[in-house]
Amino acid sequence: MVLRIDSLIHRYPNGTTALAGVSLAVRAGERVAVMGPNGAGKSTLARHLIGIARPTSGTVEVDGRDAARLGIAGLARSVGFVFQNPDDQLHATTVAKEVGFGPRNLGFPADRRTALTTWALRVTGLTAEADSHPRHLSFGERKRVALASVLAMDTPVIVLDEPTTGQDHRSITLLEELIGDLHKKGKTIIAITHDTDFCAENFDRIVVLADGRVRWDGPVERWLEGAQDPSVSAFEQPQMTRLGRRLGWPAPVVTVDGFLDRLTDHAETTG
């Protein structure tokens, strides 16, 4: 297991319990989406994964090491975290320097640093902007710079906090392709998101949090089968699922490919 969370409780100083006994294990190479309504504890959980927050009780282990003890800097080689607000990190005068900031801090040799920076710029569609000032880019582009700067650190685990917020269609398509490529490379990807379509198309497993507890943990299709379950009805279902239901299909479909397969089967069955 690359990540193991055991009976994690997090209580803020004002008494609010953000996490009320969360247990979770993530294998290397898994794609996991963490969903939940506002205040469910998603962000607090993410903060534990990179050692920002310390458990009130329970443990968070990354590669078998205690995350709270390692702290943020100690986990930087293992977990890359793409923060929701890119403006909290952009400081360099060019996009290329910004992307190369992490690898430099991690002490990578120059050739590896250059290779990773070039790759990260390419896969995020930012090669043409390498010499631009990050602050001159749009919000969506700045988000991609933040993503590229984490990819360039080549960490085995990548956590994305609300990656689709403020992104146009082209950027989301790029992100989806990227998640597929990273998955093939064996990276573990965890996304905190509200976007059910994005989640359905790109993640194998969904963890639904509500009131600081895990309400669902499993494949997306199985989750959507329980349409009346409050953990499901709180979200807008993926477009393909809604379309399938309108067509009267009993079992939910979640992806475009799944929908096409089902349609082909249906056409063959009905002649």
Partner 1 sequence: MGVSPRSADDSPVHRLNPLTKLVFAVTVTVSAFALTMTWWPLLLFCAAVLPMVIASGTLRKFFPMLLALWVPIALTVYVIQGFFYPETSRVVAEIGPLELKYEGLVFATQTALRIMVLMGGFFLLLLTTRPGALMSAMTQRGMSPKTVYVVSAALQIAPALAGRAQGILHAQQARGLPVKGLRGRVRALVPMAGPLILGALTDVGDRAVAMETRGFGTSRRPTFLTEVPDTAAQRVARTVMGLCALTAVVANVFGVLR
User: In angstroms, what is the minimal distance from the CB of 39 to partner 1?
Assistant: 10
What's the Cα-to-Cα distance from 207 to each of 1, 134, 234, 245, rounded to whole Å?
Answer: 16, 34, 14, 23
Binding of partner 1 at residue 88 (CB under 8 A)? yes
Which residues, listed in sequence order, are joined to residue 157 by a DSSP beta bridge? 79, 188
Binding of partner 1 at residue 65 (CB under 8 A)? no
178: its two tokens? 């990227």
The footprint of partner 1 on this chain (CB under 8 A) covers a number of residues equal to 31
Binding of partner 1 at residue 76 (CB under 8 A)? yes
Binding of partner 1 at residue 117 (CB under 8 A)? no
Binding of partner 1 at residue 52 (CB under 8 A)? yes
User: In angstroms, what is the minimal distance from the CB of 95 to partner 1?
Assistant: 14
Cα gap 235→223, rounded to integer Å:
11
User: In angstroms, what is the minimal distance from the CB of 52 to partner 1?
Assistant: 5
* 19-27, 74-82, 200-208, 228-236 -> range binding partner 1 (CB under 8 A): 74-82
Among 38, 73, 184, 250, interactor with partner 1 by CB under 8 A = 73
Binding of partner 1 at residue 96 (CB under 8 A)? no
Q: Cβ neighbours of residue 206 under 8 Å, at least 6 residues apart?
A: 32, 33, 34, 35, 199, 216, 217, 218, 219, 220, 223
User: In angstroms, what is the minimal distance from the CB of 12 to partner 1?
Assistant: 6
Binding of partner 1 at residue 70 (CB under 8 A)? no
Site string for partner 1, 230-269 (x = CB under 8 A): ----------------------------------------
Binding of partner 1 at residue 72 (CB under 8 A)? yes
Binding of partner 1 at residue 191 (CB under 8 A)? no
Length of the chain: 271
Contacts with partner 1, residue ranges (CB under 8 A)? 12, 14, 16, 18, 44, 50, 52, 71-73, 75-77, 79-81, 83, 85, 87-91, 101-102, 105-106, 135, 149-150, 153
